[in-house]
Structure 1
């Protein structure tokens, strides 16, 4: 059977606290995350046969990972796919193990966003110094604000009522993050706090936007048939999906701007491989790309968690809260855990891994179906995106 389902296992993971790490270099963060993963898997760096390195601005060659870990002449592939970089690196590593190229590999994502001197939230592109751009560009807050305005208009939701719905998503994620010692933000907030916060790009306010953060996360991957040699509670990769747009939203004048097609396509790929027909009922949790609260709202519908236009009703009903029918962003999400671009996808997988093992502490959810979805999204809804999904689960799922 093509794909990676039940062919690849995660046997160790690590994650730093996501924060403003003014006292640490990216190499310090890499070492911290990777050595937690090595210890979790019961291996040493010398056991790693190949590695994948995910970062946007914190190291442009594989040596950026090799040097701090003293990896001795092994293959290292550096992946950059904007906010989807972590998942892209993880999926590529899974394919390499599934095809038999390697038996034991490392995937690490890290970013120093707070002190690199680059305006990460604005429009950046490593290729820009070598190319010409004459098209209209939107910083992410402005682009996703348009998604919010259009969604509210399309479904007849008054803007201020829509803002209250989005505020409840922010409140949920801040509550979940308050239970996570590794999250960047530890303070619980209220709907009133969200609505009274300064506007960033109307109708999105300060608490509708994720933080820019420093951090690192790492995973150790091996063949499924070898995983039992390392631990009993390993986590299997059940499915993966990735979809990349080609600026359809920018060139098509009938684009509705109420959904993200790349999300839809990637989720269908992952669901098919994982054998999921009813994600709302079959998943135990989902960790999704809530770069803005409106993004999370739209994702509910793109992934089939809610019918089109009905996500606000599910938010009001508490469907996606920690004790709800399908908990979403149990660790606080990008909104509260933070968003060091290249590390975020692996941080999401770290949360799913811990939840499936029953090691998530105060934020532990009930594991019934033994399946979790993780997702990142690079780009903006007004041009094109890269959506990437990894579904992980336990044996028998």
Structure 2
């Protein structure tokens, strides 16, 4: 049975987001303080007004104390959550459902990650014991499988695939160059992307997202209370998350030209939000471009392109800043960076800025509906989150 959804029952009234990057001079606590202070300031409230907190972090803290000691809260509940790269979105989901249920009047969702201080270039964690069936590959290696799978499924030659992936990287770096909070702010050329040193399969350095520190936060209340705090609230239209059962990684017939969990979570989100044609109804989409072939496959799994036509739409500029549906207008993981616990909330933050007309150089004309998408894990064994947000209540 599908969920009933909570369309227009909850609204975001304030958000904050730090700069993402190699923030050697900032601690986890520093980032939490900055993001939370910016969010309450934009909402015109104080931390004392917040009834409960949801903290998302993968590896930068192991209880609610990570937040309560940083913010010096008094007698407030803090729930720490983790769901791989969908951690920030999971924190938002918890806060939103708490408000929608009537359990609290105001909640904060906040995500943070300090990856650079680990001393490793990549996500570092200890996987729990299992039955030995999961493959032991790095993230770049796992996602590199998407490119040849897509080529084989739709008959693309290697040059066409290379051109498609390079276009995605160039687009996202161009968008990020107009974002003062982005980790990487320099545009790149298709030649630089195509000729960058290889990491795994046909993926080069410029096909991979950055390793970053950062934090982002949101304050949510019941929709009927939103205008007490702001004249431009952002309404939650849908929240959908799907956890795969892990069998695809063992299925010889499965194709990495698609990620079923993404398609399933997207369809559920569209049902909740009442969206029939996402390519035309959405004003912008923030998707989990951890690697360039991931974004390509997502265009089809999210219903933005017909099956086998995603590469054509990418090359035609359909998802560029001036295209039919701007994708990762803030630079995405590729340029903005990917501090795991903060990424999902960072995506919602871009919708927040766009709806309020505060996105600066990258401001879109009159956006009204935005999508965020997180992918945690890897093809064949992952979780997928899709959220839909709007500037107005549905009629």
> Structure 2 length normalisation: TM-score?
0.97
Partner of 2:292: 293
Q: Find the residue that maps to 2:303 and give its secondary structure.
A: coil
- Change in 2 beyond 3 A, CA 1:248/1:366: farther
The whole-number CA distance in structure 2 between the counterparts of 1:393 and 1:325 is 18
Q: Is the 8 A contact 1:159 1:203 kept in 2?
A: no
The whole-number CA distance in structure 1 between the counterparts of 2:393 and 2:12 is 15
* 2:82 paired with 1:83: no
Q: Is the 8 A contact 1:121 1:139 kept in 2?
A: no
Partner of 2:386: 389
Structure 1 spans left out of the alignment, 5+ residues: none
The whole-number CA distance in structure 1 between the counterparts of 2:389 and 2:325 is 16
Equivalent residue for 2:106, pick from 96, 104, 107:
104
The whole-number CA distance in structure 1 between the counterparts of 2:166 and 2:217 is 31
Range 165-174 or range 241-250, more displaced = 241-250
Q: Is the 8 A contact 1:91 1:390 kept in 2?
A: no
> Structure 1 length normalisation: TM-score?
0.96
Q: Give how far 1:208 is off.
A: 0.5
- Change in 2 beyond 3 A, CA 1:89/1:270: same
Partner of 1:61: 63
What are the Cα deviations for residues 32-53 of structure 1, in whole angstroms up to 9, with x where unaligned? 1110001000111111100000
Correspondence list, 1:181-200, <5 A = 181-200=180-199
Q: Is the 8 A contact 1:318 1:324 kept in 2?
A: yes
Q: Find the residue that maps to 2:149 and give its secondary structure.
A: helix
Correspondence list, 1:239-254, <5 A = 239-254=238-253
The whole-number CA distance in structure 1 between the counterparts of 2:160 and 2:149 is 14
The whole-number CA distance in structure 2 between the counterparts of 1:287 and 1:136 is 29
* 2:40 paired with 1:38: yes
The whole-number CA distance in structure 2 between the counterparts of 1:70 and 1:107 is 16
What are the Cα deviations for residues 245-276 of structure 1, in whole angstroms up to 9, with x where unaligned? 01122122210111000100100111001000
Q: Is the 8 A contact 1:7 1:223 kept in 2?
A: yes
Partner of 1:24: 26
- Change in 2 beyond 3 A, CA 1:246/1:71: same
Coordinate RMSD, CA, aligned: 1.4
The whole-number CA distance in structure 1 between the counterparts of 2:154 and 2:75 is 56
Poorly superposed stretches of 4+, deviation over 4 Å: 131-135
Partner of 1:155: 154
Q: Give how far 1:126 is off.
A: 5.3
What are the Cα deviations for residues 116-139 of structure 1, in whole angstroms up to 9, with x where unaligned? 2456346x34535xx674643111
Q: Is the 8 A contact 1:289 1:376 kept in 2?
A: yes
Q: Is the 8 A contact 2:121 2:211 kept in 1?
A: no
The whole-number CA distance in structure 1 between the counterparts of 2:391 and 2:277 is 18
Partner of 1:377: 375
Correspondence list, 1:95-244, <5 A = 95-117=97-119, 120-121=122-123, 124-125=125-126, 127=128, 133=132, 135-244=134-243
The whole-number CA distance in structure 2 between the counterparts of 1:251 and 1:199 is 27
Q: Find the residue that maps to 1:192 and give its secondary structure.
A: helix
